[in-house]
């Protein structure tokens, strides 16, 4: 078997560990299912479950004693605030929360740089605006990946890609933007906190840099599942690992990660001309500028509908394997009309920054004369997973952003060709999936760990020459009829956002 590299990722629905061999092939994996909770008006995860889930995922990995390098990745953004002893000050506030609007708007105006609601700096400033008592006790803020990395290695640092979702990065220095940091400190100077922003943020490291090793304390946290001394790559966010997993880290390349949330990453050749609240500017794991269209909602609502259909099968005494269920329903959707026959779906369980909604109400709406068939319903469900993303991608197209290749990965692409076909129609561009597309982020993190060992050249060269040179992939070109059908669907979808907004304002709201 030889040496293994291990990638760990804390996704929104699964904690997964993937080991790759010397040929960069996934050879073993383990996972743990979890989900966020909505408590006291905040989407959160229990940090105790972080460790329970990590140990469960690791137990599924074979030959752990052969791990030569590893790394941790997780959902980007959010807010984890700790005191000097790394005691959590308030429950983890995840990327799903849309409660930082005033802070995000003020910081965007002050910086001349889009600060989305889910970014860590927006959460911090909103806590300040709220007058929250815990702020004066902050010694560290970090991301979920940064927290786990620090507990395992003792090194409080982040990969530049993950750090770019906390605070803007200067592409020249590969560090937090110094002028914006000064502007933030000046903004809060009169509050007399015992810290500056630099004091409480993690250090920033590029891919390939040494980021510590598994300490004896870290090994004990894992109950001996891994031996102390394993070197760590810099902790990364799920955006960076998705780019790595799909060989989309060079300019004019892009990828779409589609699971609980959906986001596209396009590596830019030059800066955008304008500031857009719908577009995040983050970086690759090596610090190259990336335009990110991030949507909070993707497959959660369709998952709920698929569970309902499974329950219907069980009502008649049947049973069906989850994989077989999804494959059958995805393939059935191909029989639907290209515009879904007048059936419209909004999959908003949470708010959406791209469409400027602070909350969500899932809805299925149809014309009285719609062809309400199973195939049209399913096709509408899958169109809805990417409709909001398309609205953001249209902004990039208007800016003249060029994309030579668009790679797909994540759960939406697990059923062969179906997700690719619809995404190609939505973006009117060819979409490629590699055989590792279903592995997603943890595979990308394992590759970043392997790059740490490789020790020479750029990440782009490493991936192109050594990892993906002979990769098995499939590419789906956009079909003209599908593209027109999606365009027709999206036109109605845009108009119907007024109905979704009204539903958020009037249905099940606090009085």
Nearest to 132 by CA among 238, 226, 42: 42
Nearest to 200 by CA among 159, 140, 158, 145: 140
What is the pLDDT, as a whole number, of residue 511? 43
**Could you tell me if 117 and 101 are in contact, meaning their C-beta atoms sit under 8 angstroms apart?**
yes
Phi, psi of 81 (to 5 degrees): -115, 130
What is the pLDDT, as a whole number, of residue 439? 62
What is the pLDDT, as a whole number, of residue 353? 83
Nearest to 101 by CA among 125, 83, 79, 78: 125
Outline where DSSP puts E strands in 95-245.
140-142, 157-159, 169-170, 175-176, 203-205, 236-237
What is the pLDDT, as a whole number, of residue 97? 87
- 278: number of CA atoms within 13 Å, CB side? 14
Q: pLDDT per residue over 274-297, tens digit each? A: 999 899 999 999 999 999 998 989
Q: pLDDT per residue over 164-217, tens digit each? A: 999 999 989 999 999 999 999 999 999 999 999 999 999 999 999 999 999 999
**Could you tell me if 442 and 7 are in contact, meaning their C-beta atoms sit under 8 angstroms apart?**
yes
Distance CA 324, CA 319 (A): 11
Distance CA 90, CA 41 (A): 13
**Could you tell me if 11 and 238 are in contact, meaning their C-beta atoms sit under 8 angstroms apart?**
yes
**Could you tell me if 104 and 117 are in contact, meaning their C-beta atoms sit under 8 angstroms apart?**
yes
- The pTM assigned to this predicted structure is 0.83
What is the pLDDT, as a whole number, of residue 2? 65
What is the pLDDT, as a whole number, of residue 325? 96
What is the pLDDT, as a whole number, of residue 469? 86
What is the pLDDT, as a whole number, of residue 414? 86
Stretches in the chain below the pLDDT threshold 50: 1, 511
């Amino acid at each position: 078997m030889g040496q293994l590299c291990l990638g760990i990722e804390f996704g929104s629905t699964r904690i997964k560990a993937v080991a790759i061999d010397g040929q960069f092939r996934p050879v073993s994996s383990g996972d743990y299912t979890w989900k966020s909770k909505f408590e006291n008006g905040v989407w959160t995860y229990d940090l105790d479950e972080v460790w329970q889930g990590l140990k469960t995922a690791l137990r599924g990995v074979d030959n752990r004693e052969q791990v030569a390098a590893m790394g941790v990745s997780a959902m980007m953004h959010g807010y984890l605030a700790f005191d000097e002893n790394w005691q959590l000050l308030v429950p983890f506030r995840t990327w799903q929360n849309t409660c930082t609007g005033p802070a995000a708007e003020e910081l965007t105006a002050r910086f001349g740089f889009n600060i989305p609601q889910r970014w860590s700096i927006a959460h911090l400033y909103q806590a300040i605006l709220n007058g929250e008592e815990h702020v004066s006790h902050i010694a560290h803020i970090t991301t979920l990946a940064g927290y786990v990395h620090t507990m395992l290695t003792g090194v409080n640092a982040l990969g530049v890609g993950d750090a770019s979702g906390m605070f803007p990065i200067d592409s020249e220095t590969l560090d937090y933007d110094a002028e914006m940091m000064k502007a933030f400190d000046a903004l809060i100077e009169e509050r007399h906190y015992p810290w500056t922003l630099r004091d409480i943020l993690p250090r920033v490291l590029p891919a390939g840099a040494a980021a510590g090793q598994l300490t004896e304390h870290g090994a004990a946290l894992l109950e001996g599942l891994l031996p102390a001394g394993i070197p760590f790559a810099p902790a990364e966010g799920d955006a960076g690992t998705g780019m790595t997993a799909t060989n989309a880290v060079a300019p004019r390349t892009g990828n779409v990660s589609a699971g609980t949330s959906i986001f596209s990453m396009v590596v830019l050749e030059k800066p955008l001309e304008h500031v857009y609240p719908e577009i995040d500017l983050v970086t690759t794991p090596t610090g190259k500028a990336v335009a990110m269209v991030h949507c909070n909602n993707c497959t959660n609502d369709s998952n709920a509908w698929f569970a309902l259909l499974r329950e219907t099968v069980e009502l008649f005494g049947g049973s069906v394997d989850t994989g077989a269920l999804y494959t059958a329903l995805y393939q059935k959707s191909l029989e639907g009309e290209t515009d879904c026959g007048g059936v419209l779906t909004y999959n908003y369980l949470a708010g959406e920054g791209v469409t400027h909604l602070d909350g969500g109400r899932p809805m299925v709406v149809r014309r009285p004369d719609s062809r309400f068939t199973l195939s049209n319903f399913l096709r509408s469900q899958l169109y809805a997973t990417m409709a909001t993303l398309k609205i953001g991608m249209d902004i990039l197209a208007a800016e003249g952003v060029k994309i030579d290749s668009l790679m797909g990965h994540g759960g939406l692409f697990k059923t062969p060709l179906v997700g690719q076909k619809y995404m190609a129609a939505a973006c009117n561009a060819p979409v490629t999936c590699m055989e590792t597309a279903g592995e997603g982020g943890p595979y990308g993190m394992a590759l970043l760990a392997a790059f740490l060992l490789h020790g020479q050249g750029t990440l782009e060269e490493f991936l192109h020459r050594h990892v993906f040179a002979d990769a098995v992939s499939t590419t789906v070109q956009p079909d003209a009829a599908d593209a027109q059908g999606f365009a027709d669907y999206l036109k109605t979808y845009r108009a119907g956002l007024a109905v979704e907004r009204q539903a958020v304002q009037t249905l099940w709201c606090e009085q």
